[in-house]
A and B are shown apart, each in its own frame.
Chain A
């Protein structure tokens, strides 16, 4: 019998939800790292019982935790994230240059093949890598060479929040940084370049077509077709068919094209999901109705998915790392809210059920499928 494990990071700890493949009955663990912010936790595809968690605190800083038993027990590993060489500076709010300062790890992306290799996306924006299971971390400084002096923190901090590893070309990695944009390496992280052509930010940037500065919220691919990228930008839902060289808008009939997460159906590469949010200041669903929108055409034509979701008086947000899919058939879709609910659909989004109702505000959701 197949099994599902959902890894939920919240403002006050991590929770692990488990079910069999029917996805009808769920168990919720006690909180792990209670009282700490868990920005993200994710399992190694190569060794699924090996999990990594980013545990942070405004008081006590950054910890990285590793589990070898699917989250039952944890062990702290390396927490030293030093910028390579002289850290240098980036643009500050007053137009001056400001030194890079490490604040926290937003996202952990384990290698699909090597259980000891994990990438970590940090604030202030930088990419780190471990090749020894988290014991030590090294920066890939080429990221910040990609016009880093022009980056400037947005309201949510200057964070490297998305890391997408190309499953067909291990030397190719995509990253996204708030208020900076998308960047790509084709040489395993040595050199990086911005890939933001086609993004337009007329209300955020003096030059709406600038090479860097676009506030990308999330990017996603389907593993069978890694040259096709989907993006939820600050405003606009975008698509690239050439590995990010050019982008075009696919917002179509969405009620709002502002939002945070975007994800791709596990078995249908042209089926994608977003959660429209009213605006950049009103971080809640339009009309108080929590609606996931699904496009089965790779964008432009969107259908509201409402069955089982609150359709009145709902004013929660869904953060960028808080949506994931399983790989069963039919595909399961999961997302968490700032109100502490985790919703799951076992039928590709047609119907939804809350599988947790009263957690702390959800920061991230990841799903592991055990076929």
Chain B
């Protein structure tokens, strides 16, 4: 199972407490993970990526294994440790402010 950590406001929207555990069909990719997440929690559609273009929203970031995966193409394979559930996949609100 893939472990997904949502930012506070999206956990509230999705009524989620803690990590979301997702079954993502193989080969597990960034877009496959987001598809599975939005299928499980339809309320998140449009909050992480555009509903039509599927472009990541500008101030949302994807981190895993201490790497920033935000700019990777949607069909990028997820790190093996994420697929194996040893590391979480983090969806973050980007730093903004002063």
Contacts and interface: CB of A to CB of B under 8 A. Distances in A.
Q: A and B bound?
A: yes
A12 to B, nearest CB: 12
A115 interface: no
B9 A36 contact: yes
B13 to A, nearest CB: 7
A60 B10 CA distance: 8
A85 to B, nearest CB: 13
Interface stretch (B26-34, B39-47, B62-70, B75-83): B39-47
B47 to A, nearest CB: 4
Given A35-B9, A76-B13, A82-B52, A60 B96 contact: no
B22 interface: no
Interface in A29-76: 35-36, 57-63, 76
B20 to A, nearest CB: 16
A80 interface: yes
B9 A57 contact: yes
Interface in A61-104: 61-63, 76, 79-80, 82
Given A76-B43, A79-B45, A79-B46, A60 B52 contact: no
Contact of A80 (B8, B46, B48, B60): B46
Interface in A319-345: none
B45 A60 contact: no
A59 B94 contact: yes
Nearest to A75: B43
Interface in A178-214: none
B86 interface: no
A60 B51 contact: no
- Could you say which of A36, A57, A62, A82 has the most chain B C-beta atoms within 10 Å of its C-beta? A57
B46 A61 contact: yes
B13 A63 contact: yes
Nearest to A65: B13
A76 B52 CA distance: 19
B74 interface: no
B57 A59 contact: yes
Contacts of B13: 60, 63, 76
Given A57-B9, A63-B47, 5 more contacts: A59-B94, A60-B10, A60-B93, A61-B46, A61-B47
Q: 3 smallest A-B Cβ distances: which pairs? A: A60-B47, A59-B93, A59-B59
22 contacts: A35-B8, A35-B9, A36-B9, A58-B59, A59-B7, A59-B9, A59-B57, A59-B59, A59-B93, A59-B94, A59-B96, A60-B9, A60-B10, A60-B13, A60-B47, A60-B57, A60-B60, A61-B47, A79-B45, A79-B46, A80-B46, A80-B51
